[in-house]
C-alpha cells in the first residue's frame, strides 16, 4: 500500500550534520575574530593611554608658577613631537582660566573637560584636520593650585595596523575554515558510510536477494539492526506456521468432505433426490471454499520480501506441464520474456498467477496462445488466445468469485478471482480486454517495482 505523499522531503542526516557543523564553525571563527580584534584594540589603547599619562606627568614635572602666579613650563621637558605642527601629538595645560597649548596645535584647540584633582578622564575626540584622537585628561594639585593636563595622540597609525591585522586574521580564519570544512565533511562521510551499507543491505532485502540485514553497524545502530532481523525471523516463522495450520485444516476438511461425497453416492441417499441434491451442493460449496482459502494462504508469504524468480525457467516448465495436462487438446503456445524483465516475489504466487491464466487460455482457445513478459516500470504479463473471447459487459464480472461465463466448461469460477487477489497483494493491476491480434480474450497483469510501491 502506498504511503501518503509528503509535501517536503526530509533532509538527509549527512546534509544536516554538514550544514550544522559548517554554521557552527563560521559562527565560532567570526566570534573569535571579533573578540581578537576587540582585545587588540583594548590592549593597544591602554598602552597608548599609559604613555599619554607618562607624558602628562613629565609635563607636570616641568610646570611651575612664578611669583606673579603666571604659568611657566620648562620647554626642555617637552618632546619634539609636540612642537611639530599637526604631528598628531598634542597637549593642553589649563589652570584658573589660564591655558597653555602645544605648538603642534598651531592655532587650533582641543576639547578639554573640566576636571578635579586626582581624576583621570579618557576620551576619543576630533583633532586638527579631523584626526581621530585618544585623549587623557588628568587633574593635579601643583603649588596648591588645580592644574588640568590633557594629552592626545592620533590613532591613525594604530587603526591602520588594526585593519591590517583584521584582514590578515580574517584570511587565515577563512583558510582554516575551509580546511576544517573539508575535514568535517570527510569525517561525516566516513562515519555515515555504515548507513550507506545499511541502505544497500535493505535494498537487497527488498529485492529478495537476502532474508536478513547483513551489517555490522556502529554501537548506536547495531541494536536496531538486531531487532529488525529478529522481527524478520518472527514474521517468517509466523507466516510458515500460518501456512502449515491452514494446510492441516484444509487437509482435514477435505477428508471429511470426501466422506460426505461418498455418502451422497450410497443407494439410500441416491433414492432421496430431495436430500441428495442439497447435500451435493453444500459439499461442492465447501470444497470451493477450502480450495480458495488454500490459494489465499500462499499470499501470506508476501509479508516478507520474496526471492527473485527466474522467469524463463519457471515459464518454460509451466508451459510444458500445461501442455501435458491438455495433451488431448494440442495448442500452439508462443511465449517471450523481454530482456531485463524481472519478477520479485513469491515463486508460488507467480506459478499460481500464470497457472490460472494459462489454464484458462488452454480451456477457451482454439489453437493459439500467446504469452509476453515485458519490462515496463516493473513487469507486465500479457496472455492472449484465439478463443471466442467475452462480451464487454461480462469482462468486469470474470474476476468475481464463482462467476463462469460458460457453465459447459469445467471449473469452479475461482481462477481469475485468485489471480485478482494475487495482483492486488502486489499493488498491481489486472486488465481484461479483447485481443486485437488473436481475436480472443487478452489479460494483462501489471506489477510495479517494489521500490515504486514503497516509495513515499
- The pLDDT assigned to 381 comes to 93
Q: Give the whole-angstrom CA distance, residue 346 versus residue 344.
A: 7
Furthest-apart CA atoms within the chain: distance in Å? 162
Q: What is the pLDDT of residues 144-193, one digit of tens each?
A: 888 888 999 888 888 888 889 889 988 998 898 899 888 888 887 787 77
Strand partners, 126: 132
Q: Which residues contact 111 (CB under 8 A, 6 or more apart)?
A: 123, 125, 126, 135
CA angle centred on 207, ends 205 and 212, rounded to 5°: 15
Torsion angle defined by CA atoms of residues 51, 56, 60 and 62, in that order, rounded to the nearest 10 degrees: 70
Q: Give the whole-angstrom CA distance, residue 393 versus residue 390.
A: 8
Q: Which residues contact 71 (CB under 8 A, 6 or more apart)?
A: 63, 65, 93, 95, 98, 100
Q: Which SS3 state, helix, strand or coil, does residue 90 take?
A: strand
209-215 contact pairs (CB < 8 A, 24+):
209/307, 209/308, 211/236, 211/304, 211/305
Count of beta carbons in the 10 Å neighbourhood of residue 441: 25
- The pLDDT assigned to 86 comes to 85
Q: What is the pLDDT of residues 357-370, one digit of tens each?
A: 888 888 888 888 99
Q: Give the whole-angstrom CA distance, residue 206 versus residue 200.
A: 10
Q: Which of 379, 308, 377 has its CA nearest to residue 337?
A: 379
Q: Give the whole-angstrom CA distance, residue 22 versus residue 105.
A: 52
H-helix or E-strand containing 247?
Answer: helix 222-264
55: left (phi over 0), alpha (psi -120 to 50) or beta: alpha
CA angle centred on 213, ends 211 and 216, rounded to 5°: 145
**How large is the angle between the packed helices 222-264 and 273-297, nearest 10 degrees?**
160
For the chain, list residues with pLDDT below 50: 1-9, 301-304, 306, 401-413, 454-456
Q: Which SS3 state, helix, strand or coil, does residue 52 take?
A: helix
Question: What is the helix, strand, coil percentage profile of the chain, to 5?
Answer: 55, 20, 30
Q: Which of 394, 392, 335, 389 has its CA nearest to residue 366?
A: 389
Torsion angle defined by CA atoms of residues 269, 270, 273 and 274, in that order, rounded to the nearest 10 degrees: 0
C-alpha cell at 11: 533532509
Q: Which residues contact 160 (CB under 8 A, 6 or more apart)?
A: none
**How large is the angle between the packed helices 415-425 and 347-364, nearest 10 degrees?**
150
String of DSSP letters for 50-106: HHHHHHHHHHHHTEEE-TT--EEE-GGGS-GGGTSTT-SEEEEEEETTEEEE-GGGT
Q: Which of 310, 256, 307, 300 has its CA nearest to residue 282?
A: 256
- The pLDDT assigned to 242 comes to 73
Q: Give the whole-angstrom CA distance, residue 130 versus residue 78.
A: 24
| pTM (two decimals) | 0.45
Q: Please, where are the H alpha helices in 156-304?
A: 156-206, 222-264, 267-270, 273-297
> Cell 522531503 belongs to which residue?
9
- The pLDDT assigned to 208 comes to 62
Q: Which of 60, 38, 80, 42 has its CA nearest to residue 137?
A: 60
Amino acid at each position: 500500500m502506498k504511503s501518503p505523499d509528503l509535501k517536503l522531503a526530509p533532509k538527509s542526516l549527512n546534509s544536516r550534520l554538514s550544514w550544522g557543523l559548517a554554521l557552527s564553525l563560521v559562527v565560532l571563527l567570526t566570534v573569535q575574530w571579533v573578540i581578537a580584534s576587540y582585545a587588540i584594540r583594548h590592549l593597544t589603547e591602554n598602552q597608548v593611554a599609559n604613555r599619554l599619562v607618562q607624558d602628562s606627568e613629565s609635563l607636570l614635572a616641568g610646570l611651575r608658577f612664578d611669583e606673579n602666579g603666571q604659568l611657566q613650563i620648562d620647554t626642555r621637558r617637552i618632546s619634539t613631537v609636540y612642537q611639530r605642527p599637526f604631528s598628531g601629538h598634542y597637549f593642553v595645560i589649563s589652570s584658573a582660566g589660564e591655558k597653555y597649548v602645544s605648538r603642534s596645535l598651531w592655532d587650533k584647540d582641543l576639547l578639554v573637560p573640566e576636571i578635579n584633582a586626582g581624576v583621570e578622564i579618557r576620551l576619543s575626540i576630533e583633532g586638527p584636520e579631523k584626526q581621530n584622537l585618544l585623549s587623557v585628561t588628568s587633574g593635579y594639585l601643583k603649588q596648591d593650585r588645580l592644574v588640568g593636563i590633557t594629552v592626545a595622540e592620533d590613532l591613525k597609525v594604530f587603526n591602520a595596523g588594526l585593519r591590517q591585522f583584521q584582514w590578515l586574521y580574517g584570511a587565515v580564519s577563512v583558510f582554516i575554515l575551509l580546511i576544517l570544512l573539508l575535514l568535517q565533511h570527510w569525517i561525516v562521510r566516513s562515519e555515515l558510510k555504515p548507513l550507506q551499507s545499511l541502505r544497500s543491505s535493505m535494498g537487497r532485502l527488498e529485492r529478495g536477494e537476502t532474508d536478513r540485514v547483513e551489517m555490522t553497524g556502529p554501537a548506536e545502530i547495531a541494536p536496531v539492526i538486531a531487532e529488525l532481523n529478529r522481527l524478520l525471523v518472527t514474521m517468517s516463522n509466523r507466516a510458515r506456521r500460518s501456512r502449515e495450520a491452514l494446510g492441516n485444516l484444509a487437509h482435514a476438511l477435505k477428508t471429511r468432505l470426501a466422506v460426505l461425497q461418498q455418502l451422497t453416492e450410497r443407494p439410500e441417499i441416491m433414492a432421496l433426490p430431495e436430500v441428495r441434491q442439497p447435500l451435493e451442493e453444500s459439499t461442492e460449496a465447501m470444497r470451493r471454499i477450502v480450495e480458495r482459502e488454500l490459494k489465499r494462504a500462499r499470499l501470506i508469504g508476501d509479508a516478507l520480501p520474496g526471492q527473485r524468480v527466474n522467469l524463463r525457467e519457471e515459464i518454460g516448465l509451466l508451459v510444458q506441464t500445461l501442455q501435458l495436462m491438455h495433451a488431448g487438446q494440442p495448442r500452439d503456445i508462443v511465449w517471450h520474456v523481454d530482456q531485463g524483465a524481472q519478477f520479485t516475489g513469491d515463486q508460488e504466487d507467480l506459478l499460481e498467477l500464470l497457472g490460472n491464466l494459462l489454464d484458462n487460455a488452454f480451456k477457451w482457445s482454439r489453437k493459439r496462445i500467446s504469452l509476453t513478459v515485458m519490462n515496463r516500470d516493473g513487469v507486465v504479463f500479457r496472455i492472449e488466445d484465439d478463443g471466442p473471447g467475452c462480451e464487454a459487459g461480462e469482462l468486469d464480472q470474470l474476476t468475481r468469485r464463482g462467476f463462469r461465463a460458460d457453465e459447459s466448461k469445467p471449473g469452479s469460477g475461482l481462477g481469475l478471482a485468485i489471480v485478482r487477489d494475487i495482483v492486488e497483494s502486489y499493488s498491481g493491476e489486472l486488465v481484461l480486454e479483447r485481443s486485437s491480434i488473436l481475436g480472443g480474450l487478452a489479460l494483462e497483469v501489471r506489477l510495479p517495482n517494489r521500490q515504486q510501491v514503497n516509495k513515499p
